[in-house]
Amino acid sequence: MSDAPAPRSRRWMLYTPLALAGAAGAGFWVMLRGLQTGDYDPRGVPSALIGRGVPEFSLPAVEGSDRPALSAADLRGPLPRPVLVNFWASWCVPCIVEHPQLMALSREGVPVLGINYKDKPEDALAFLARRGDPYTRLGRDEPGRVAIDWGLYGVPETYLIDRQGIIRWRYAGPVTPEVVAQDLRPLLRRYA
């Protein structure tokens, strides 16, 4: 073996991991700085589905539920009024935060259709038994394929479908009272 220095063509391989780590750290720092100043909002990523009809899908009902299954045909216009499609799961902590708002909207007559995401049927039913069931239809997306077609980032995620069956609004994260007051109610009035 020789003690000769590594050729220049191989020396870059030694510095590549350091450069990649530095770039990742800089990107992470920029994201954190944006979170602190309010310039970065992960929910602000627009959906490619806004202004389009719902993707084609057909989901079975959650086993043991008295709610009917859910498919794209249930969301095609003309609809009597705008509807909400809510992706949720029993294991999702933010879903607990938004649940009272969904219950209130359902009591007011807003149709809320649920898609139970990557969940066990018995866990989903226990969640609804404990907290109430706001859903008029409840589909089960256990493998998560329908969520991919909708462009889901995670649960909870909620979509507003207008009377013609067009997606008009998407919210990634829990629907809080502020979101209902500032975003959702004006849209429900607009598309009624």
Any bridge partners for residue 87, and if so which? 115, 157
Per-residue pLDDT at 37 exceeds 50: no
CB atoms within 10 A of CB 139: 26
At 2 the pLDDT is 56
Give the Cα separation of 181 and 172 in Å (integer): 16
CATH (domain of 82): 3.40.30.10
94, 130: one domain: yes
User: 166 CB contacts (<8 Å, ≥6 apart)?
Assistant: 51, 52, 53, 77
Distance in angstroms between the alpha carbons of the first and the last residue of the chain: 80
Residue 65 DSSP code: -
49, 19: one domain: no
| pLDDT band per the 50, 70, 90 thresholds, residue 44 | low
Give the Cα separation of 103 and 164 in Å (integer): 24
Question: What integer best gives the mean pLDDT of the chain?
Answer: 87
Number of domains in the chain: 2
Two tokens, residue 94: 């933010």
27, 86: one domain: no
65, 157: one domain: yes
CA-based nearest residue to 101, from 88, 120, 91, 116 = 88
- Report yes or no: 167 and 51 within 8 Å, Cβ to Cβ: yes
Higher pLDDT, 107 or 44: 107
52, 111: one domain: yes
Q: Model's pTM, two decimal places? A: 0.76
Whether 118 is covered by a domain: the verdict is yes
100, 171: one domain: yes
Higher pLDDT, 163 or 45: 163
62, 145: one domain: yes
DSSP structure string for 26-38: HHHHHHHHHHHHT
Two tokens, residue 79: 């609809």
114, 136: one domain: yes
127, 145: one domain: yes
Least reliable range by pLDDT among 7-16, 64-73, 93-102, 116-125 = 7-16
- The amino acid at residue 88 is W
List the domain range (segments joined by +) for residue 141: 45-191
Whether 1 is covered by a domain: the verdict is no
62, 125: one domain: yes
Residue 184 DSSP code: I
Whether 3 is covered by a domain: the verdict is no
Kindly report the CA angle at 81 between 75 and 85, in degrees rounded to 5? 45
Whether 2 is covered by a domain: the verdict is no
Residue 183 DSSP code: I
